[in-house]
């Protein structure tokens, strides 16, 4: 059996960055460099000839910026793309826009080019994840007509909805959160996202939703009508104080290479909310959240996993299904109506 390597195209105007990235990436025997491009025009020609599996793309480049190039390429030749840019740190709205245009992940490039080696371990993991992404499926979800909005939700007491997602999750969240009613149950979300991007994601989602969407802060109350998104780079836990729920936000070691990790949120929900919660595990690479979802189910909570057909990567939800953690396995558009029905 012949082992097929993942072919990677690097598009960056810095010769030093291209050289270091190509050298370090090729140290992994599962990769080979399909080409090095100093700008999108050269990249376009390489793509036509070499047909790479994954593209690493800078934002700020001569002749055409990376966001514009990404948008054009996704219309003609969709390629799983990872944004590697220092601009992502300076203005995280650009990173969110890149993900809306089809990027599967973002890595913040150090401001000094000679420090690029610092991001290599994270980048290697994300390339492996990106190679498994069905980009056309992401586009279909992003371009689909909006799901039907649920206009009301029965009054609840101490009901919690928790959601975990990763690769493809930002697109999935953009599809489902606008369907939430204004009085939705208190909702907590862990989306695998780098530090600095979660606030922009929350602010963007807040403009499209009846419910209030915000980046979680330590001590925030979990209340109806509000959705809290874990801040990138920090874990988030649910804590109960009498009849009141709140979130705790803090550091700690990554779990499944992730911080925030879905496991922390789901495990704490199982312990603090038990059968008063519903857990949802959406599209994503790896297995983060699967064991936590099982713990929730064992504690009496209802649990839902996104089905394979609508998942960009059926890693996390697939892992949950494999260990019987998911009570229901549903397509993306059926998940929110079912969750609200279970919480009524």
| H-helix or E-strand spanning residue 101 | helix 92-101
Domains 6-131 and 160-343 share a fold: yes
Task: For residues 264 and 230, give the distance between their C-alpha atoms in angstroms, rounded to a whole number.
Answer: 11
pLDDT of res. 114? 61
Task: For residues 42 and 297, give the distance between their C-alpha atoms in angstroms, rounded to a whole number.
Answer: 52
192 is catalytic: yes
Q: Where are the domains of the chain?
A: 6-131, 160-343
Task: For residues 245 and 222, give the distance between their C-alpha atoms in angstroms, rounded to a whole number.
Answer: 5
Task: For residues 126 and 29, give the distance between their C-alpha atoms in angstroms, rounded to a whole number.
Answer: 16
SS (H, E, C) 61-97: CCCCCHHHHHHHHHHHCCCCEEEEECHHHHCHHHHHH
| Domain 160-343 homologous superfamily, CATH | Methylesterase CheB, C-terminal domain (3.40.50.180)
pLDDT of res. 60? 83
Phi, psi dihedrals of residue 283, rounded to the nearest 5°: -45, 145
pLDDT of res. 147? 65
Please report the DSSP string for 228-254 in residue order: EEPPTTSEEEEEEETTEEEEEEE----
According to DSSP, the residues that pair with 162 across neighbouring strands are 188, 279
145 is catalytic: no
- Copy the structure tokens of residue 273: 């909310």
According to DSSP, the residues that pair with 250 across neighbouring strands are 235
The pLDDT profile of the chain, 344 residues, written as one tens digit per residue, is: 456 899 999 999 989 999 999 999 999 999 999 999 999 999 999 999 999 999 999 988 888 888 889 989 988 899 999 999 877 664 467 778 888 888 888 888 876 666 788 889 999 999 998 998 888 777 776 655 456 766 655 544 468 999 999 999 999 999 999 999 988 999 999 999 888 789 989 999 999 999 999 999 999 999 889 999 999 999 999 998 766 899 999 999 999 999 999 999 999 999 999 999 999 999 999 999 999 999 999 999 999 999 999 999 999 999 999 999 999 999 999 999 999 999 88
- Copy the structure tokens of residue 205: 């989602």
Is there a contact between 45 and 19 (Cβ–Cβ < 8 Å)?
Answer: no
pLDDT of res. 155? 43
Phi-psi region of 120 (alpha: psi -120 to 50; beta: other; left: phi over 0): alpha
Catalytic residue among 39, 105, 288, 307: 288
Q: Is residue 243 exposed (0-12), middle (13-18) or buried (19+ Cβ within 10 Å)?
A: exposed
Catalytic residue among 39, 53, 129, 192: 192
Is there a contact between 185 and 343 (Cβ–Cβ < 8 Å)?
Answer: yes
Q: 337: helix, coil or strand?
A: helix
Alpha helices in 194-331 (DSSP H): 198-206, 262-272, 290-298, 316-322
With a CB cutoff of 8 Å and minimum separation 6, the contacts of 62 are 13, 38, 39
Strand pairing class (235-241; 244-250):
antiparallel
76 is catalytic: no
Catalytic residue among 85, 92, 165, 166: 166
The verdict on pTM exceeding 0.85 is no
- Copy the structure tokens of residue 191: 């989306």
CATH number of 6-131: 3.40.50.2300
- Copy the structure tokens of residue 50: 């070499």
């Amino acid at each position: 059996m012949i082992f097929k390597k993942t072919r990677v195209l690097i598009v960056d105007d810095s010769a030093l960055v291209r050289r270091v990235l190509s050298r370090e990436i090729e140290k992994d025997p599962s990769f080979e460099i399909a080409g090095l491009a100093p700008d999108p025009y050269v990249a376009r020609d390489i793509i036509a000839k070499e047909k790479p599996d994954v593209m690493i793309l800078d934002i700020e480049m001569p002749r055409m910026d990376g966001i514009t190039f990404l948008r054009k390429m996704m219309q003609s030749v969709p390629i799983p793309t990872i944004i590697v840019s220092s601009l992502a740190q300076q203005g995280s709205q650009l990173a969110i826009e890149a993900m809306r245009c089809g990027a599967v992940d973002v890595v913040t490039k150090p401001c000094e080019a000679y420090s690029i080696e610092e991001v290599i371990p994270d980048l290697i993991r994300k390339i492996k994840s990106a190679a498994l992404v069905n980009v056309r499926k992401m586009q279909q979800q992003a371009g689909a007509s909006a799901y039907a909005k649920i206009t009301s939700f029965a009054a609840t007491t101490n009901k919690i909805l928790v959601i975990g997602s990763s690769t493809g999750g930002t697109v999935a969240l953009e599809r489902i959160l606008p369907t939430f009613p204004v009085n939705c149950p208190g909702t907590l979300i862990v989306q695998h996202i780098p530090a600095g991007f979660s606030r922009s994601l929350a602010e963007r989602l807040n403009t499209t939703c009846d419910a209030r969407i915000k980046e979680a802060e330590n001590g925030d109350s979990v209340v109806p009508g509000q959705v809290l998104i874990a801040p990138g780079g920090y874990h988030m836990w649910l804590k109960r104080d009498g009849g009141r729920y709140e979130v705790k936000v803090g550091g700690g070691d990554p779990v499944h290479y992730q911080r925030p990790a879905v496991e922390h949120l789901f495990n704490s929900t199982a312990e603090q909310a038990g059968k008063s919660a519903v857990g949802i595990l959406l599209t994503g690479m790896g297995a983060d959240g699967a064991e936590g979802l099982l713990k929730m189910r064992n504690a009496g909570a209802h649990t839902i996993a996104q089905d394979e057909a609508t998942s960009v990567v059926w890693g996390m939800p697939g892992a949950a299904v494999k260990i019987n953690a998911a009570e229901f396995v549903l397509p993306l558009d059926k998940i929110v109506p079912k969750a609200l029905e279970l919480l009524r």
